[in-house]
């Protein structure tokens, strides 16, 4: 390197840079200070009355799933054909899971009672199949 480009210690002679102040933004850009806003992730969302009514109306499918699931559970304890109701409750609960995410407890219990009713009905079918194949002595 030649003497005009480097100092005595081998570093290039550059003008001093002040790192404590911000330079002016290029043309067409906003200053950094004007883009700083309050943190919005802590601000709670407030539902309007129309949104609350719409959310309340969208819990019907999960309620039907829960009612049919309970009915299917009771019927499958007594009779094997409660499995059909339990299967319907399971299907409605799975549909309500994607359509009505705010009614989690209702469609969750609808799915649970539907599964439990199906297990009981499968137990009845197994019991009938085993007893039906053995001769009476």
What are the Cα distances from residue 118, in Å, to 42, 48, 86, 102?
Answer: 44, 41, 6, 26
DSSP class of 36: -
* pLDDT tens for each residue of 96-124: 999 888 888 999 999 999 999 999 999 98
Is the pLDDT reported for residue 11 higher than 80?
no
- Indicate yes or no: pTM above 0.75: no
Is residue 72 within 8 A of residue 81, CB to CB? The reply is no
Domain boundaries in the chain? Answer: 59-133
Q: Which residue has the higher pLDDT, 14 or 125?
A: 125
What is the pLDDT confidence band of residue 76, given thresholds at 50, 70 and 90?
Answer: very high
Is the pLDDT reported for residue 3 higher than 60?
no
Is the pLDDT reported for residue 7 higher than 60?
no
* pLDDT tens for each residue of 17-57: 666 666 666 677 766 666 666 555 666 778 888 888 877 77
Could you give phi then psi for residue 46, rounded to 5 degrees?
Answer: -105, 120
Q: Number of helices and strands (H, E) in the chain? A: 5, 0
């Amino acid at each position: 390197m030649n003497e005009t480009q480097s100092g005595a210690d081998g570093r290039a002679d550059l003008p001093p840079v002040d790192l404590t102040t911000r330079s002016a933004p290029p043309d067409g850009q906003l200053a950094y200070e004007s883009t700083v806003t309050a943190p919005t992730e802590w601000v709670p969302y407030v539902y309007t009355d129309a949104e609350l009514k719409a959310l309340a109306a969208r819990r019907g499918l999960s309620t039907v799933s829960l009612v049919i699931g309970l009915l299917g559970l009771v019927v499958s304890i007594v009779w094997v054909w409660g499995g059909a109701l339990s299967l319907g409750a399971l299907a409605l609960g799975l549909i309500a899971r994607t359509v009505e995410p705010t009614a989690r407890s209702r469609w969750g219990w609808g799915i649970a009672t539907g599964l439990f009713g199906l297990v009981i009905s499968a137990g009845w079918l197994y019991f009938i199949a085993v007893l039906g194949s053995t001769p009476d002595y």
